Structure 1
């Protein structure tokens, strides 16, 4: 009788352990990214997540920077990995999204690129320069142009200046603001473009071809992050899956692929 009770107890414990593992293994989470080289990085992440945690990453690709947060906030995806801290804060302020950061990935220095010149010094009077038009990346691009000595911004403009904050433009540059994806397509038609990492390869450049890049040491607001819905943080199972996703994105495998595609990318974890 005692032996029977012991076997029953051990069987119950085994079933309990199996049920716990089944709750965290063999799961799928939908992850949103932007089109471009991020897809190649996520392929590495997908393989590692499956191998290490039996976690399936169902990757959803979006064509611009505005949709992934809308999709996440609406519950169409479980996480997104495409934006900087600064971009997220702007989106939350403007749209009222209830989103939260669960991990850092990389700093990808923004760069100035050109198909017509080889050096910043070759930018001449009334040259056209295209920059992204969303508040975060627009401000980032204007600060980069200031660091290049092409413009001067008013004091106190901070991380998010606009073209109205330009107080000196000695070469009378024609600075055009367009959607980030359009900036990549405009590369052939203007003297220079300021590009985010997602669009460098699509525009026909390699990150090493930048005329000038941001200094990663001063780009803390531009750390790329893993973002989820605030309410999902209180869900124990989802929190576990997010922890696994973070571990995958902070792995040596993902780091190696990222450095291959984006020389100069800096891990921020």
Structure 2
């Protein structure tokens, strides 16, 4: 009898053990299924959710100590740059020092020589020409504005009023000179040779029925010579600084046209710094709604803020540089 009791106890222990093992296996299977379910859900997450998460994790953290960044510019008048400095300090803990240059050739050289960290004064057409001529590799990291190129006059209210033999001032740097001549052609004042491209010179004029005298001057001087010439080609940013409105121009190109894409202004830096998170964050900050409003105010409505990815900007720059190299062969 005692022997039967022992056997019964052993049998009971064996049954309990088997049931426990089954329960553990079931729990393990449930855990595995749950993990698989979670993985499946993650895999099926919408791209926008995934991108948002990635963007949030990729955003640079606000540093404990201020980061100092020198930005080369061609003018600091107006509200935009002080506002950008303020926002960079508040949002990024970045202290921006603006280094102002009076000549378009200097900010890129200062950048190449590491006298500044970033510059913001030029469009892609200017940058492409400068890179080729000086054997540099300065690259865009963010877009700012497109500014129309206008023909302004203190003496005449319509292109048709400009007398024969008049002097017309245009910027003397290759990109803006070429664009200025295209504006004069569009206004019907002269004709350039076919396929002149973006970098035409007065030597490319094939028909000058009004015998106009083209006077190249430093871009920043184009508003100042207005009293001395019949009309002057002035870009939007400089015109705004001089108190001129786009509506004051007697003729101008279309800032939103595809043909003006090479004239999109950019933040630029050295190629080795193209992925610098701080520099890119500053460039992105330019798209802030308050900055956009200040640009509109500073330029008297003559400049349009446009947000184009750095990769697209680089593609446009590569194309322009390729065209310049091909033309030199």
Quickly name the TM-score band, shorter chain normalised: 0.7 to 0.9
SS at match of 2:223: helix
TM-score by length of 1: 0.86
Select the residue among 222, 225, 248 that pairs with 1:186: 225
Select the residue among 33, 47, 50 that pairs with 2:73: 33
| 1:108 counterpart = 2:155 | no
* Uncovered stretches (5+) of structure 1, i.e. residues with no partner: 1-19
- State the Cα deviation string for residues 149-205 of structure 1 (Å, max 9, x = none): 101111010111111111111111111111112322211111000012342145452
| 1:265 counterpart = 2:306 | no
Q: Which moved more, 1:244-253 or 1:135-144?
A: 244-253
1:75-114 aligned at under 5 Å gives the runs 75-114=114-153
| 1:158 counterpart = 2:178 | no
1:1-269 aligned at under 5 Å gives the runs 21=61, 23=63, 26-35=66-75, 37=77, 40-216=79-255, 217=257, 218-233=259-274, 239-262=276-299, 263-269=301-307
TM-score by length of 2: 0.71
**Cα distance in structure 2, aligned partners of 1:22 and 1:84:** 30
Say if 2:167 and 2:212, in contact at 8 Å, map to a contact too. yes
Displacement of 1:107: 0.3
SS at match of 2:116: coil
Larger radius of gyration: 2
Say if 1:84 and 1:221, in contact at 8 Å, map to a contact too. yes
Say if 2:63 and 2:93, in contact at 8 Å, map to a contact too. no
**Cα distance in structure 1, aligned partners of 2:95 and 2:267:** 16
For the aligned residue pairs, the C-alpha RMSD in angstroms reads 1.7
- What number of residue pairs does the alignment pair up? 245
* Uncovered stretches (5+) of structure 2, i.e. residues with no partner: 1-59, 308-329
SS at match of 2:285: helix
SS at match of 1:139: helix
SS at match of 2:274: helix
Say if 1:132 and 1:179, in contact at 8 Å, map to a contact too. yes
